[in-house]
Amino acid sequence: MPTPAPESLTTPDITADSRFYNHSGPFSVRQVAAAVGGSTAGLERQISGLAPLNAASATDLSFINSRRYLASLSTTDAGAVIVASALAYAVPTGIDAIICADPDAAWSIASALFHPRPRSAPGVHPTANVAAGASVDPSAEIGPFANIEDGASIGANCRIGAYTHIGPGVQLGVDCIINTHVSINYAILGKRCRIFSGVRIGEDGFGFTATATGFVSAPQLGRVILGDDVEVGANSTIDRGSVADTVIGAGTRIDNLVQIAHNVRLGRNCVIVAQVGIAGSTVLEDFVQVGGQAALAPHLHIGTGVQIGAQAGLIADAPAHAILLGSPAQSRQEFLRQAITLKRLSRRPKPEPS
């Protein structure tokens, strides 16, 4: 028999395919507004799903966060739209406006309202291995072929994915989600941490001494400490400390394919984008943002609120709230000044040969 053709990629745009995502609702416009902290003149119109402006129907919720999309707003068939007060005037008659101070945040809350994450299924899969000396809360879910070592502690409502390894003595706070094929060693995680597939936490740092006869590896004796609400993207690595701990502050978001070396300390609510490398013992204070493929040298101190551009190479300390670009990284003003100067020089006519 021929293989059935896959569903066309040109079928109507939907926000969450029911084959992969939970769905709840419908909710009234009033209920949605209350959930996202917005205000509305709408009341009982029923909203059953989410969709972008150009694909929404009368039972869908959509949103707008920029004037660039006013044309799409003018022609949308959405039943309700999350919108900032500055753009509320543009919502067509017949569509309920849910006015919010931050439409992006409101949309995230609405998405979780209509598509909540799956709840854990308490219990240990028959193929999982849980050491006799491990502590697993009865509400936790331990997936197929997971391995929980002696002395590990798994908090309430945690979910441990298939083929994941939790090493001896590791502690997970409540409501942590650890996806498949993860390994966690020498680590203490706070509440509500989310660790995506393929992450390696607590491996040896890159620590060795060069001698006349070769390299001598130094034992890595520290831990990895993750604060509450930390997320670590797929296939990222966080090395344990050599003597002091490697620390990831509460609320920090780490993208896929990031390398964080031993003794690094990240503050609260930092954002580390894909393919960033942070070398050993560098400290980032709170709310630092690091763009994709940037590299930070060892033993640096990066102040609060610093923004580091993509592919930047940082080799010196950075004061609070600096914006740095280029390699070697420098202030945005200096980087742009040099770029403009080089552009002008490249456009100068070449002198005629004598």
Active site residue 262: yes
If residue 166 lies in a helix (H) or strand (E), which one and from where to where?
A: strand 165-166
58's tokens: 């009368």
Least-confidence region, from 49-53, 116-120, 192-196: 116-120
- When mean pLDDT is compared across 40-49, 95-104, 191-200, the lowest value belongs to 40-49
Question: Across the strands, what pairs with 253?
Answer: 231, 271
Residue 18 pLDDT class (50, 70, 90 cuts):
confident
Task: Give the predicted TM-score (pTM) of the model.
Answer: 0.87
Phi/psi at 324 (5° precision) = -120, 140
Which residues does residue 153 pair with via DSSP β-bridges, in sequence order? Answer: 135, 171
Which of 165, 262, 301, 321 is the catalytic position? 262
Question: Would you kindly state where each structural domain of the chain is located, as residue ranges?
Answer: 27-114, 185-334
> Would residue 198 be called left, alpha or beta, if left means φ above 0 and alpha means ψ between -120 and 50 degrees?
left
- Domain 185-334 -> CATH class: mainly beta
Angstrom distance (rounded) from CA 154 to CA 138:
9
The third-level CATH classification (topology) of the domain covering 27-114 is 3.40.1390
Q: What is the pLDDT of residues 121-166, one digit of tens each?
A: 899 999 999 999 999 999 999 999 999 999 999 999 999 999 999 9
pLDDT, tens only, 309-344: 999 999 999 999 999 999 999 988 888 888 788 888
pLDDT of 96 > 90? The answer is yes
Q: Quote the CA–CA distance of 333 and 309 in Å, as a whole number.
A: 13
Structure tokens at 166: 């939790």
- The order of strands in the sheet holding 96-99 is 39-40, 96-99, 80-83, 60-63, 49-50
For 159-196, the pLDDT digits (tens) are: 999 999 999 999 999 999 999 999 999 999 999 999 99
Query: What is the DSSP pairing of strand 49-50 with strand 60-63?
Result: parallel
Q: How many CB atoms lie within 10 A of CB 2?
A: 4
Mean pLDDT along residues 283-300: 98
